[in-house]
Amino acid sequence: MCPSDPSVPTGAIDPQGLPDTSETPAPVVSGEPVQVSDGVFVIPDRRVDLVPNIGIVVGETAALVIDTGMGPRNGAHVLQEARRLAGDRPLHLTVTHFHPEHGFGAQAFKGAATIVYNRGQREELHRKGSAYIDMFRGMSPAIAAELEGVELVDPDLVYEGRAEIDLGGRTAVLRTVGPAHTASDQTVLIDDRVLFGGDLFETRIFPITPYFPPYDIDVDGPRWITVLDQLASLDAEIVVPGHGEVADTSLIRDVRDYLTYIRDEVERLRTGGASADEASATIDKAARERWSTWEHPEWIGLAVQAFHAAGSTG
């Protein structure tokens, strides 16, 4: 089990402002993997809350799984699908970031795959993993059920900055790009064509901004915008978001434009003397109208709070 770091203060997260998940379906990964490029498959999230898009990349000599879903049942299902596609090829597992719906099924892969994280992911898992389990369990009985028996596991390999995995005729480049959405976000680029970005971007969903002071304030809005500019410049043919439909690079630009709007409006209102709450009320209304087809507008207010705090300290 992944140990806690006793040198880092821990505490309960107060999830005020989170979307209401009490009536949403159980966060269960299901459905058939869909091939989006040669040897690259995605188990789509079906737009179910707290179910991520899962990647399975199959090369000639090895395979890579990207994200696991939440809890041991989802992790076991993803492992089964990976084995079905990869046969007896050695497996690798990585996750885009430490959040429960993306990486808390990793225990199913312990001993069955080589688990690879960046150093920041491992450290963030140690600092926050237990508190996030507690927070997610409190969201609904269905979510708590998926976390039953969950164990936090350490990676087998840890890298700094960039790592390359040769899958045989297919190459996966893992790159540390956080802090942005979290302190340790990671992207996975397959053959310079398919980009997995986790929750750095989602399709028709307001960006998830986990700003929960004082416990978790690692989200970095200004740097997030810089990261999205860098990712857009890669001009990947296929972009796999953390949640929502597979898209192209225009998705990254759409999310970048939204975050830029939040940043600029927060700065304008903050300079005029508006408090974070006052800025939230003003921006929330305008953003809902401007991005009327996007889901979970509850995240707007938390984004405003994060940018307001960044401006106050910057």
Query: Considering the domain boundaries, does residue 261 fall inside one?
Result: no
Residue 256 lies in a domain: no
Q: Is the separation of the CB atoms in 171 and 60 below 8 Å?
A: no
- pLDDT for the residue 9: 36
Q: How far is CA 268 from the centre of its chain?
A: 29
**Distance (Å, whole) CA 185 – CA 200:** 8
Q: What is the CATH number of the domain that holds 173?
A: 3.60.15.10
Is residue 28 a part of any domain in this protein?
Answer: no
- Domain count along the chain: 1
| Residue 14 covered by a domain | no
pLDDT, residue 202, reads 98
- Would you tell me the crossing angle of helices 221-232 and 298-313 to the nearest 10 degrees? 110
Residue 64 makes CB contacts below 8 A (sequence gap 6+) with 55, 56, 57, 91, 92, 93, 94, 165, 167, 172, 188
How many angstroms separate the CA atoms of 134 and 110, rounded?
23
Q: Name 22's Cβ contacts closer than 8 Å, sequence gap at least 6.
A: 139, 140
Q: Identify the pLDDT of residue 84.
A: 98
Taking 50 as the pLDDT cut, the residues of the chain under it are 1, 3-11, 314
Question: Is 69 among the domain residues?
Answer: yes
Q: Does residue 171 fall inside a structural domain?
A: yes
Q: What is the pLDDT of residue 86?
A: 98
Q: Tell how far CA 228 is from the center of its chain.
A: 14
What pLDDT is recorded for position 6? 35
Residue 214 is predicted with a pLDDT of 87
pLDDT for 313: 54
* pLDDT score recorded for residue 17: 63
Q: What is the pLDDT of residue 310?
A: 92
Cα first-last separation, the chain: 38
Give the pLDDT score at 3.
Answer: 44
pLDDT digits (tens, 9 = 90+) for 172-181: 999 999 999 9
Domain-embedded: residue 13: no
Stated length of the chain: 314
Any domain includes 268: no
Beta strand 63-66 with 54-58 is: antiparallel
Domain, as residue range, for 199? 34-249
